[in-house]
Structures are given as structure tokens and as C-alpha cells.
Structure 1
Amino acid sequence: MNRASAAMVAEALRDLTSVVIISHVRPDPDTIGSALGLGLGLARLGIAVRCGYSGPETLPGALRELPGVELLAPLSPAEEGGAAVAVDAATVSRLGDYEAVFDASPTRVCIDHHVSNAGFGDLDFIDSESDCTAVLVLQVLDALGVELTADIATCLYAGLVTDTGSFKWARPASFEVAARLLNAGVDGVRWSRVLLDSHPYSWLKMVSEVLGGSVFDREACGGLGLVYGTVTAAQMAGMNWDESESVIDVVRTAQEAEVAAVFKESTPGEWTVSLRSKTTVDVVPIARALGGGGHTRAAGYSDTGSADDVIGRLLAQL
């Protein structure tokens, strides 16, 4: 790992002519908010900025309302005198097809908060003690001397409020950042509602089916218990892909289970798996063994096959 600080990243970016900012595949508010917040800040310094993510998924509706979405565009490697910045990606493979864009750029910067990130840039600003990548982007913008506008603050707030579960598991420092962002002009009530508490009516039926078919395995995880549910592609018909992402936050509330998992089928036979734990189990080694990564209490990975096959591979790791 080429360990870097916010000041080192700022120094590397300050005098560039152009920057390409890459979010991870299946983008969430932290990766998009971090990209757009950084992009808006760099644009204020006169740097040409392009942001983007790889994959066929459309950007979730709420994120299409964020300031700076006009920066999203198809990406190519940064030109001479430019850099590529990966935000909120635990591994370079999380950049999808844009891994090649990152690798081919003259200067490569990684900004991330996942504990499983071993570093993959020329400069790796990685802090697993941060609740979200957006907070690290704020540190870089501060080091650059960029004014915290309401638009930049809104993008960063999107990452902060979602990655802390509306501050349910936030560290004390995150509340200080939140106050600063709100004072900069963020409409916290509106963005908390659209990012966390808005779903189509069909989501309710899907969740009821998932919960009705959920399984509680009392003996899993050394007797600490596992609860899991499965979201099939058929159940997601007519909904945007991101509507399955919040199901884990319902399943994880089962008080008898230390670990929760949700298997989400994007297309037939293609799955992403979300893992959560409450207090004692580190889910990073589990996710790593299956090709993924993440945080001690929240991790994930991708898999292929039938539902029984994918579930069986997880159970074998527990």
C-alpha cells in the first residue's frame, strides 16, 4: 500500500489539468456522493472533471437529484497531466470495466474507508476508522482550500447519512461533520427521507415475501445464529435494482441472530450478497473467502449459480 494523507492527495491533485473520478459498480450514495462532491470541488479550482461508474445499472432515482450529476459521463483514461481517482472501492476490481481506465491513467489515487482495502493506487488514502468515504473526500477538499458550498455538502451528506444508517452506528466525529454539512446548507430532512425512507409500493410486497421465506439457523456461526433471506430477480421485476439493497437492514433486526445475510439476484444466476453482524463476528474474512470484502460488521461479495448453490457456499464458510 502506498499510504497517503489527505494533504498528500490534495498536493497531487492541486495543479492537474484533468481528473477522472471512478465510483464502484452498482453505485450507492457514498461512492456517488464522494465522486460528485470531489468533482464539484475540483471544478471550482478550474480542473476539468469527469465522473462515472461501470455497468448497465441506472443510477438510483434519488441519486439522480444530487448536485453535480452533469459531471457523470463515459470515462476514458486521464490524459498526461491528469489523474484517476477511485472512490469507495475496496478493490480495483470493484471499478468493473473502468479498472482499465484507472490502471492506464498517469497518476492513480484511491480514497476509501473499507478495512479490507489493501491499496491499489499510486496514492492510497484509506482510513477504516472513517464512517464513510465522503468524510475523507471532505478532508481532501479542506486540504485543497475549496469552499464547502451547499452543493458539495449535499453530495457528501448523502454518503454520510446512508453509510451510518441515519447515524445509528456513527462515530462521534461523524456528528461533527454532519453539523458542518448542515450548516453549509444541506436540507437534511429532505435528503434523509429520499435516501432512506422512500420506496415504491411494490417494495413492500417484495420485502414481505423475502421475510416470509427467510431462514433462521440457530447453530450457525458457532451457535451465535444466522438469519438470511433471498431476493430473486423475479421478485424485483418492475423495480430498480437498488430497491433490494435496503432489505438487509430489515433482516438484520432479528435479535436471535448475530449474523444476517441477504442474497440478491440481479439477473438469473447472478448474485450479490450482503453480510452484517451485530457485536462479535468479523464478516470480512467470510466475504474475502468468497471473493469480496468490506468492514468488520458489514461486508459483501458476488457469486453465480442457483440460490441453493450460493447459499450453500456461504453456509460452508460459517
Structure 2
Amino acid sequence: MTRASAAQIADALRDRASVVIISHVRPDPDTIGSALGLGLGLRSLGVAVRCGFSGPETLPGVLHELPGADLIAPLTPPSPGEVAVAVDAATVSRLGAYEDVFTAADTRVCIDHHVSNAGFGDLDFIDPESDCTAVLVLQVLDELGVDLTADIATCLYAGLVTDTGSFKWARPASFHVAARLLESGVDAAQWSRALLDSHPYSWLQMVSTVLGTSVLDEQACDGRGLVYATVTADEMAGLAWDDSESVIDVVRTAREAEVAAVFKEATPGEWTVSLRSKTSVDLVPVARALGGGGHTRAAGYSDSGTAADVIARLRAQL
């Protein structure tokens, strides 16, 4: 493992015949936007590019509309000399079944912004001070001398606008990046609406049920408060898996709670858990203790069992 700069990553990718770019399982806009933005940039330089992600879930519909989505396909083992790049994955296990594709490559590159990422590539470009991985990809593309087209900028904007919560918690540098992306031709109104403010009507009904059974414990977290909700597999019936991802953004608004959690049942007995804090609780140790990771104020992990058991394990860590 070598901590690398954007320039060193560019050197590793420059003049390669082919590059495979791997997003994490249950892909979000940052991992897909980063992969497609990097992929389009490399393709413009004549590099053969393959992008993919592992898992039973399909790509969320809106992400199918991103430029370069045609690059995404099932991945085969790397060819000799091919570079594998993991984008926005805090651990190599987040690549799912494609962990083997990554580890079999002659050169392995990790580009990520999670503070919990200890590095797992030959070259690791990891910057927890970046609001999203897409911003790091832009730095690599700049070092490669890639022209920032509207298509590339749109892919990177998808990661930036979602990982900053529509810029609600963006660092100053992200506003400079956003201005540059918009100047390159991104339709910010269209993509912000599509990525953040668009759900099927059945989502409203699901959220109504979930919020109606949410729990507030103002004494949890040493009196700082915990609010949590569960989304069962039955409640998700008829909805795409990604429709549960935004529930945390509603639950976290409870002003009486420093920490918010949403327990999402992917299949009966199998849960993914989203955690958010506001100002004083570092979620990374909590998520790590439960097998996950993430950021100081946003983290997650997976667990198995009944809802009561999964909730109890989180509460024991808080």
C-alpha cells in the first residue's frame, strides 16, 4: 500500500491499454458518477474502459441516465497489464464479488474519501477532507489533461450534489468545484431534482408508515438523543431498493436527537443500517465495531437477525 497523490494515480493510468473501474455494492451516485466520470475521461484518451458493480441490486433508474452508463457491464477477470480502480469503497469487501477482479489485477488503485479507509490498493488516493470521491476523480482527470466535457462534469456533479446533501454540509472547496462543473455544462436544476427530489408515490406511503413507527429516545447517547426507524422487507415491497436510502434524511431532522439511524431490511433477516450525527458523536468507531465504516457524521454497516436484535446491538455501542 502506498498513499498516493492525484498525479501519481494519473501516472499509473496514463498510456494503459485498458482499465477496469469497480464501484461498491448497492451503488450510490458518488460511486457510479466517479466511475463513469473517470471512465469517460480515460476513454477520451484512447484507453479501453470497463465499469461494473457487484450484487443482486440493479442500478437505480436515474443513474441509468448518466452519460457513459453504457460502460457498465458484468466484469470478467482483468487481462494482463490491466489496472483495476476501486472508487468510493471504504474497504475491499465493499466491492462484493468483484473483490477478486480487483485483487487479481497487476496494478490496484483505490480512490476514496472515507475516513475509515485504511487503504487496500497498491496506490491509495484517499482524502477524508474531500466531500466526495467525485472531487478526487476530477483531480486525477486534471492531472491527465482530460478536457472537462459536459458529460464528464454531469457524472461528477451527481456524486458532489448527493454526498453534500445538495450542498447543505459542503466544504468551501466544493462550491468552487460545483461552479466549475456547472460552467462545463451541467444542468444542475435537472440533475438535483432527479437525484434528490424524485420518488414514486408509493414511496410517500412507505415513509408515512415508517415515520409512524419511529422511536425517539432523548436519554440515549449520554442524553444527546437517538431517533431511529425500521424499514422492513414487506414495507419495501414494490419499491426499488434505493428508495429506502433517503429515509435517513427525513429521520435525521428530529431536533431532539443527535444521532439518527435507519434499519433497512434488504431481505428477511438481513439489514443495512444508515447512521447520521449532527455535531458531537463520531460514528466511525460505532460503525467499525459493528463491521462497517464511513465518515464522522455519516456511516453504515450490515447486520443479521430480528429487528429487535439489530437495534439492540446498535444501542449497546452508543
| TM-score, normalised via structure 2 length | 0.99
Report the equivalent of 1:235.
235
Q: How does 1:194-213 map to 2 (within 5 A)?
A: 194-213=194-213
Report the equivalent of 2:305.
305
Report the equivalent of 1:296.
296
Tell me, yes or no, if structure 1 residue 270 matches structure 2 residue 250.
no
CA distances 1:267-311 after superposition (whole Å, capped 9, x unpaired) = 101100000000000001000000000000000000011111111
Q: CA deviation at 1:77?
A: 2.8
CA distances 1:184-227 after superposition (whole Å, capped 9, x unpaired) = 00000000000000000000011111111000111111111100
Unaligned runs of 5+ in 2: none
Contact map agreement 2:153 2:185 (CA 8 A) in 1: yes
Question: What residue identity is the alignment partner of 1:11?
Answer: D
Q: CA RMSD in A?
A: 0.6
Measure, in 1, the Cα distance between the counterparts of 2:195 and 2:66. Answer: 11
**More moved, 163-172 vs 75-84:** 75-84
Q: How does 1:221-260 map to 2 (within 5 A)?
A: 221-260=221-260
Identity %: 81
Contact map agreement 1:20 1:77 (CA 8 A) in 2: no
Aligned residue for 1:76, secondary structure, equals coil
Report the equivalent of 2:35.
35
Number of aligned pairs? Answer: 318
Contact map agreement 1:77 1:84 (CA 8 A) in 2: no
Contact map agreement 1:18 1:78 (CA 8 A) in 2: no
Question: What residue identity is the alignment partner of 1:291?
Answer: G
Structure 1 segments of 4+ aligned residues over 3 angstroms from their partners? none
Measure, in 1, the Cα distance between the counterparts of 2:45 and 2:283. Answer: 40
Q: How does 1:21-60 map to 2 (within 5 A)?
A: 21-60=21-60
CA distances 1:134-158 after superposition (whole Å, capped 9, x unpaired) = 0000000000000000000000000
Question: What residue identity is the alignment partner of 1:165?
Answer: G
Q: CA deviation at 1:80?
A: 1.7
Contact map agreement 1:220 1:226 (CA 8 A) in 2: yes
Contact map agreement 2:131 2:174 (CA 8 A) in 1: yes
Q: How does 1:23-102 map to 2 (within 5 A)?
A: 23-102=23-102
Report the equivalent of 1:122.
122
Contact map agreement 2:81 2:105 (CA 8 A) in 1: no
Aligned residue for 1:118, secondary structure, equals coil
Report the equivalent of 2:159.
159
Aligned residue for 1:105, secondary structure, equals coil
Unaligned runs of 5+ in 1: none
Contact map agreement 1:275 1:299 (CA 8 A) in 2: yes
